[in-house]
Structure 1
Amino acid sequence: MERTDLRQTLVDPTDSEWKSLSDSGLESILTETSIPYLRRVYLGAFIEMKLLFRLALPAILVYLVNVGMNISARIFAGHLGGQELAAASIGNSFFSLVYGLMLGMGSAVETLCGQAYGANRYDMLGIYLQKATIVLALVGLPFTVLYTFSYPILLLLGEPKTVSYAGSLYIVGLIPQIFAFALNFTAQKFLQAQSVVFPSAYISGAALLLQVLLTWITVHVMGQGLMGIAFVLTICWWFIVVAQCLYITASPRFRHTWTGLRWKSFQGLWGFFKFSAGSAVMICVELWYSQILVLLAGLLKDPAITLDSLAICMSISLISFMVSVGFNAAASVRVSNELGAGNPKSVFFSTWMVTFVSFVISFVEAIAVMASRDHISYIFTADVNVAKAVSELCPFLAVTVILNGIQPVLSGVAVGCGWQTYVAYVNVGCYYIVGIPIGCILGFTFDFQAKGIWTGMIGGTLMQTLILLYVTYRTDWDKEVEKARKRLDMWDEKKEPLEN
């Protein structure tokens, strides 16, 4: 669209001109200074919301389904008994170590593929995908040993003996998931960088239905109990991986970005590992933070009820968190694509638009949590004492839900920019130097129990959110565009990536 025509369209667009506005690009609209500022914001918001929800909604479905598979396993375990629910909760929390690591390292693919796609360097996407898969698979090897000896480790952490034993058996059934994560998260980020999100949503939805059906048969027909739940969960994760890989290799839409296996993928693996390590630390310390709450709960008074109530609250929090992670993915794609394309104003606009939308949604979710505080636990268990404990924790849960509406989105912006190493330091400081120590003091020393631990957790998250808001507000987006260009040039020259 010519600039004169664009100016006229911006003044009073007709319905048929909305598509032309989108095609002209967000940057063109935001830089058209002859149009009033509020008018540009209004039209830019229309275009950005269209792009945002097209990315976020399928991504939300993917993450909700992935989490829903774990929650479904907990529900089945909860209806077997309180001890089985506690064992599944401990097992999932301990196994989240490798989940967080793989998800975090996979976000390096999100940064590099997103910026390469925005810069039209399509051939590099397949290389990044293969490098990441190789690195993540190698990193997963020592975790197979760690989880094989999970029983003595859980005992050393002070968890009850019976819960530790059942949890360790559950973990053994999850071990093959390690390598499914290595393939899944890299393929998922490869697709997201190209704004291809609906196929992953369909595949994940099919996997959830398969898991519910197979788990019901395994538990209620075959009587396999907790181990059966774990094995079915592993099978369904591998179903997702196989389906995604077949789609990438067979679909003609990836003929420019997937050109088959390449020897070049084995070059510079150490450099890629170092770049992805910052991503891993950033995501890991964030995911492990909430899971530590569950592990600490096993050391409190009456650990069975405390573990069950916290597991239920954390499951609800995780559902809310996955909605924000969908916007996290959308923010990462939008920011990385616009940086690669050299559009600083679009990056700025996209960043604050997605943050605002996610916050509004999380605020509505928090109201829903408080409105259903006395009844929501019965989805998981019929225990009246657990229901009372969950109701008492819901105000803390509501605050966490609101913070979850902002913090993950800002982390998505960080991933899109390649700030993972910096944010990793922020996360370690806020979560592990501030949040957890305060939580332990309140929970154990002052005997506030689970409420005290959760208060410390909220304090750490709030501090991290405020720091990321300030850093994002102070960012020079023109400099970030230049950094993105240099990073891609460095990779093309087979050098290590430029880190921030």
Structure 2
Amino acid sequence: MSSEKSYLESTEALLTDVGHRRRDDGERWWWWWKRVLDVEEARRQVLFSLPMIVSNVSFLSITLVSVMFAGHLGELQLAGATLANSWATVTGFAFMTGLSGGLETLCGQGFGAKLYRMLGIYLQSSCIISCFFSIIISILWFYTEPILVLLQQDAQISKTAALYIKYLIPGLFAYGFVQNILRFLQTQSILVPLVWFSVIPMSIHLGVAYALVNWTDLGFTGAPLAASISLWISFLSFSVYVFFAKEFEKTWEGFSLDSFRCVLTNLKLSLPSAAMVCLEYWAFELLVLFAGLMPNSELNTSLIAMCVNTEAIAYMITYGLSTTASTRVSNELGAGHPTRAKNAMAVTLKLSILLALAIVLVLAFGHNIWAASFSSSSLIINQFASMTPFLLISITIDSFQGVLSGVARGSGWQLLAAWVNMGTFYFIGMPIAVLLAFKFKLYAKGLWIGLICGLSSQAGVLLLISLCRKWSKIEFSEEVDRETRIFV
């Protein structure tokens, strides 16, 4: 009996000791993980980035869906719509997205500094700027056909693309306004409406595009018109929400003439921000043009186009972290907490690496399936497999630099970052790409290695700027009173 009691006591002691050890191991693991990553900040950033990803993908899908509907009408219509969408993105939509980047500094830091009234004024000034540049871009779009012919594009395809893009002009204005409102909401961490007012218009767009293309006499032109209608639906939905929602009682006090006085302040940030975005977009488009000059141009162009599209889709996911970094950094700087801003940047960089690794693993094991969605040619699928290692490297670096670009926008370093993009892409990346592709005859691989060199240089310089530049300097705007405080 005593031996049985002794056995039970020893067993109980052993189980207690094991429980303590497990609890100690768990506490030790949690302590180590908190040292590696600020868990609370990471959780906040993940919850912030998810709605941004959904919103960005939805607005990207509106124009892509229109191209798909147009493409089902014939090969000429597909070629014309694809060329028009590419031209519209490079010359219009990317520029409008970049212009709204000024608000990431102005509204982000204004909200952190509790200068709530200024957010609505900055939003109005940004819409004035977007409207002005939309008019200029619209004039350019009216001359799409002669410009494309001048760029050695097929005459018939250029004519079809010009017809398509004319019906996208109304959508350009709405797209610019939407991007501004997105930044206005984003910098205040108002996220749920971003999802609703992007997903719902996207869902409506499917029906509108189908009806205009198949049930009316518009046919081909119904596809771009549907995109314009859907973008205006989204803008009007956002506008009604901003005008009447209680969340904006402090940040939206109605229209004000003060917005005109802030235009110059806004331009100093929005134009460099637009340059940041466009310089990067144009670098990718140059790769496609270079591929068309190679001996086996059809194969190389297909490969580079597949890689560019894959990189763009991956970046749409990581762009959510870029906007998160921009918002967190600008809010903390506006509140006068540069140390917290740096901590937010560090957390976002760690999350970007984790996210990039997840995308890389999926692509590494599923690259053949992914390539088959673009082409049924075994040659292209095999060649894409040989490009995959280089693509994985570029996606990882692009994710890292995307966060640093967001930090630059949140800190008001747009002009400096634009010069960085110019130097790294066009004086380092592109020359190396041309040299490897044409001189050393590496062709598509050479082009992508050059891009990797450009991305690596860009990420390295932006990281150096983020680590060395002072984050606490304050500049006061001369155009408006001291409420327009900006951290630079």
Check the 8 A contact 1:103/1:280 in 2, yes or no: yes
Check the 8 A contact 2:400/2:459 in 1, yes or no: yes
Between 379-388 and 117-126, the greater mean CA deviation after superposition: 379-388
Q: Tell me: CA distance 1:363–1:243, structure 2 relative to 1, closer, same or farther (3 Å).
A: same
Q: Distance in 1 between matches of 2:245 and 2:408?
A: 31
| Unmatched segments (≥5 aa) in structure 1 | 1-37
1:111 aligns with 2:105: yes
Check the 8 A contact 1:83/1:304 in 2, yes or no: no
Q: Which amino acid aligns with 2:54?
A: L
2:400 to 393, 402, 406: 406
Q: Tell me: CA distance 1:230–1:454, structure 2 relative to 1, closer, same or farther (3 Å).
A: farther
Provide the alpha-carbon RMSD of the alignment.
2.9
Query: For residues 6-85 of structure 1, what are the structure 2 equivalents within 5 Å?
Result: 41-42=34-35, 45-76=38-69, 84-85=77-78
Check the 8 A contact 1:70/1:233 in 2, yes or no: yes
Q: Distance in 2 between matches of 1:449 and 1:87?
A: 27
Q: Tell me: CA distance 1:303–1:440, structure 2 relative to 1, closer, same or farther (3 Å).
A: same
2:170 is matched with which residue? 176
1:140 aligns with 2:131: no
1:374 aligns with 2:368: yes
1:211 to 205, 214, 223: 205
Between 317-326 and 186-195, the greater mean CA deviation after superposition: 317-326
1:291 to 285, 289, 292: 285
Q: How high is the sequence identity, in percent, across the aligned residues? A: 30
1:422 aligns with 2:410: no
Check the 8 A contact 1:180/1:237 in 2, yes or no: yes
2:237 is matched with which residue? 243
Q: Distance in 1 between matches of 2:159 and 2:289?
A: 15
Q: Distance in 2 between matches of 1:393 and 1:161?
A: 32
Q: Distance in 1 between matches of 2:244 and 2:413?
A: 34
Q: Distance in 2 between matches of 1:446 and 1:498?
A: 49
1:121 is matched with which residue? 115
1:264 is matched with which residue? 258
Between 420-429 and 204-213, the greater mean CA deviation after superposition: 204-213
User: What SS class does the counterpart of residue 428 from structure 1 fall into?
Assistant: helix
Q: Tell me: CA distance 1:324–1:55, structure 2 relative to 1, closer, same or farther (3 Å).
A: same
1:18 is matched with which residue? none
Larger Cα-atom Rg: 2
Q: Deviations over 1:65-87 (max 9, x none)?
A: 12233343444455556655443
2:154 is matched with which residue? 160
Q: Distance in 2 between matches of 1:298 and 1:225?
A: 31
Q: Distance in 2 between matches of 1:40 and 1:454?
A: 36
2:224 to 230, 247, 262: 230
Report the number of matched residues. 458
User: What SS class does the counterpart of residue 54 from structure 2 fall into?
Assistant: helix
The offset of 1:236, in angstroms, is 1.7
Between 397-406 and 307-316, the greater mean CA deviation after superposition: 307-316
Check the 8 A contact 1:306/1:450 in 2, yes or no: yes
Q: Distance in 1 between matches of 2:247 and 2:36?
A: 30
Q: Which amino acid aligns with 2:65?
A: S
Q: Distance in 1 between matches of 2:33 and 2:311?
A: 36
Between 377-386 and 459-468, the greater mean CA deviation after superposition: 377-386
Q: State TM-score, norm by structure 2.
A: 0.85
1:90 to 63, 83, 93: 83
Q: Distance in 2 between matches of 1:241 and 1:307?
A: 36
Q: Distance in 2 between matches of 1:291 and 1:446?
A: 22
Q: Deviations over 1:278-327 (max 9, x none)?
A: 22212221222223333444444565555454444323221210111111
Q: Which amino acid aligns with 1:343?
A: H
1:185 to 179, 186, 189: 179
Between 124-133 and 440-449, the greater mean CA deviation after superposition: 440-449
Q: Distance in 2 between matches of 1:164 and 1:384?
A: 31
2:454 to 447, 453, 460: 460
Q: Distance in 2 between matches of 1:159 and 1:202?
A: 39
Q: Distance in 2 between matches of 1:408 and 1:109?
A: 17
Q: Which amino acid aligns with 1:90?
A: L
1:434 aligns with 2:428: yes
1:493 aligns with 2:458: no
Q: Distance in 1 between matches of 2:391 and 2:211?
A: 34
Q: Which amino acid aligns with 1:493?
A: D
Q: State TM-score, norm by structure 1.
A: 0.83
Q: Distance in 1 between matches of 2:380 and 2:33?
A: 52
Q: Deviations over 1:413-438 (max 9, x none)?
A: 11111010111110000111222232
The offset of 1:380, in angstroms, is 4.6
Between 240-249 and 312-321, the greater mean CA deviation after superposition: 312-321
Q: Distance in 1 between matches of 2:170 and 2:411?
A: 33
Q: Distance in 1 between matches of 2:118 and 2:437?
A: 49
Q: Distance in 2 between matches of 1:316 and 1:206?
A: 25
Check the 8 A contact 1:490/1:497 in 2, yes or no: no
1:5 is matched with which residue? none
Q: Distance in 2 between matches of 1:254 and 1:499?
A: 23
User: What SS class does the counterpart of residue 373 from structure 1 fall into?
Assistant: helix
| Unmatched segments (≥5 aa) in structure 2 | 1-30
Q: Distance in 1 between matches of 2:376 and 2:215?
A: 22
Q: Tell me: CA distance 1:495–1:413, structure 2 relative to 1, closer, same or farther (3 Å).
A: same
Q: Distance in 2 between matches of 1:91 and 1:303?
A: 21
Q: Which amino acid aligns with 1:51?
A: R
1:339 aligns with 2:327: no
Q: Distance in 2 between matches of 1:295 and 1:223?
A: 35
Q: Deviations over 1:221-273 (max 9, x none)?
A: 55866533322222222222111111111111101000000011112423432
The offset of 1:345, in angstroms, is 2.0
